[in-house]
Amino acid sequence: MNTNNDKLFSDFSPATKQEWIEKVNTDLKGEDFNRKLVWKNLNDLNFQPFYDANDALNYVTKTGVNASNLINYIGIDVTTASQGNKEALQAINEGVTGLVFKVDTNISVVELLEHININSIAVSFKLGNNALKFAIDFFAYVEQNITESAHLKGFIDLGLISNYLTTGGLMHPFLKLLKA
């Protein structure tokens, strides 16, 4: 008998959620299912020990209007513009919808963002040295490559707040950058 094309375990019918619960209750030998297996987090949300396809559909359909606005970010430490661009393009091909570039050196914005559609991908930056020059170059690039200003999504992090909270001091060169 040739079984190469048969589905694995095709002789067995799929177990229903109720059948799983009955089996678990038998294995628990009278102990409370909810107390033993359901995990409750600090916000009093209950997490079941297993889910089936029907559960997934219920949760996916209740994500609301904001679901389409969620951005899946990945951080990229940029050592060179070509390396950062290569990692960004790979991430986009894998389904990422937002990029956070950590830039500490003087690099070409044009080379970093080559073949990245800033109209549909959120681009963000954590800037260190040469922040003012990079920001000026970035906004010049945006003016040339954005179809509508509403399409531009992302942020620029200069580390002002985190530096202030950790050191108690303000970084005055970056305050001048904000003013510009």
- Count the alpha carbons within 13 Å of 130 in the hemisphere toward its beta carbon: 12
Q: Is the dihedral of CA 128, 132, 138, 141 positive or negative?
A: negative
| Whether 81 and 170 share a structural domain | yes
| Whether 170 and 94 share a structural domain | yes
Determine the pLDDT at residue 8. 65
**Strand runs labelled E in the chain:** 39-40, 46-47, 73-78, 98-103, 122-127, 156-157
Q: Tokens 């059948």, residue?
A: 19
Number of domains into which the chain is organized = 2
> What would the pLDDT profile of 127-180 be if each residue is shown by its tens digit?
887 777 888 899 999 999 988 888 889 998 877 666 666 776 665 555 665 555
Which residue type sits at 102? K
Select the more confidently predicted residue: 8 or 19: 19
| Residue 111 counted as domain residue | yes
| Residue 75 counted as domain residue | yes
| Residue 21 counted as domain residue | yes
Which of 26, 44, 66 is the C-terminal boundary of a domain? Answer: 66
Which residue type sits at 40? K
Residue-range definition of the domain harbouring residue 162: 71-179
| Whether 50 and 92 share a structural domain | no
Which of 32, 49, 66 is the C-terminal boundary of a domain? Answer: 66
| Whether 113 and 158 share a structural domain | yes
| Whether 157 and 119 share a structural domain | yes
| Whether 85 and 158 share a structural domain | yes
